[in-house]
A = this chain, B = another copy of it.
Amino acid sequence: MIRITDVTSPANPVLKSLKALAEKKGRRAQGLFLAEGLRVCTEALAAGHVPNTLVFTAEAEQHPLTVALIRATSEARRTSLRVTPDLMQRLTGKDNAAGVAAAYEIPSTDLDRIDRSTAKLWLVAENLKDPGNFGTMLRTCDATGAGGVILLDNSCDPFSVEAVRASMGALFSRQVARATAREFFQWLRQGPAQLVGAALEGRTVDYRQHRYQAPCFLFMGNEQSGLPADHAAQCDALVKLPMRGTADSLNVAVCAGVLLYHALDQLDPHPLGEVAREA
C-alpha cells in the first residue's frame, strides 16, 4: 500500500522540519540534507539512496519516475508528501521550483571511510569557501571517474542547498570527506599517494609536463589566497596552468576540471571507445 500525505499548509510540522534543512543548524540537528529535482532523486535511488522524506507536486506525480520514487519511499516506510506548487517554492526558495525534492541522510565524512584504491584521481581542497565551487568540483569528479573531494580545514558545508544543487547528484555517487590539513597529510602518507598541488608560485612545472601517478591527489587552494606555502611544501609536485591574460587567475572548479581531464588523459588515454572517430 502506498502512503501519501497531502500537505496544503506551510505550518505542517514535517514540511517545517524540511525547510529547516536550508540552514546548517537544521542539517546538523536532523542529520539530513535536501536535494531537488526528479533527475537527481532518481539517480540517488539508482545508487541505493531512498529518501528519508519525499516531497512532490501533483503535476510531478504524473511522471513514472516520480511514481517509482514514491513507491520506494513507501516501501522503506518513510514519508511521502504531496504539496502545492506554492509550498514547493517555499521549501526550495526557488521561483522555478522542481516538482520533486527529498531529504536524505548525511553520510559519514570521516577520512578513514575513503578507500584510495577505488579511484585513480582524487581532489583535495584547502579552505574552499564557495559551495557552488565544491558542488561543481564533485560533479567533475563524477564525469572523470575521480573518487571524490576531501575538504580541509574551514571549507564550506558540502551538504548546503547550493552545494547539492551544483553537484547535480554527484553527492550520491562520489565520496566526500572532511579533515584538518594535519589529519589529511598524516592519512595520505599511510598509503600510496602522489600529492600534486595547483599553484601559481613556487617551484611549479607546467601541468602538461608532470607525470601523474595513481592514486593521485590534486590539491586545490582557497579561492582567494591559493595554497599556503606550508601545504605546498607537502606536495610531491606543484603544477601550474598557463596564464596568458591580465588577471592571472582562474576559477578553482575550472582549474580542477582542467587538471582532472588532463590527468585522466595521461592515466587512461583512450576512454572514449564508443566515439566515432571519423566524424
Chain B residues near A276: list those with CB within 8 A: 203-205
Q: For residue A265, which residue of chain B has the nearest CB?
A: B208
Q: Are A206 and B272 in contact (CB under 8 A)?
A: yes
Copies of this protein chain in the complex:
2
Q: Say if the beta carbon of A67 comes within 8 Å of chain B.
A: no
Minimal beta-carbon separation of A45 from chain B (angstroms): 12
Please classify how large the interface on chain A is, using the bins under 10, 10 to 19, 20 to 34, 35 or more: 35 or more
Do A272 and B240 contact each other (CB < 8 Å), given the known contacts A43-B247, A277-B205?
yes
CB-defined A-B contacts under 8 Å, sample of 20 = A46-B246, A47-B246, A139-B247, A139-B251, A143-B244, A143-B249, A144-B242, A144-B244, A144-B245, A145-B245, A170-B247, A173-B247, A204-B275, A204-B276, A205-B277, A205-B279, A208-B265, A254-B257, A257-B258, A262-B262
Q: Which A residues lie at the B interface, using CB under 8 A?
A: 43, 46-47, 132, 136, 139-145, 166, 168-170, 172-174, 203-206, 208-209, 237-238, 240-251, 253-255, 257-258, 261-262, 264-265, 270-272, 275-277, 279
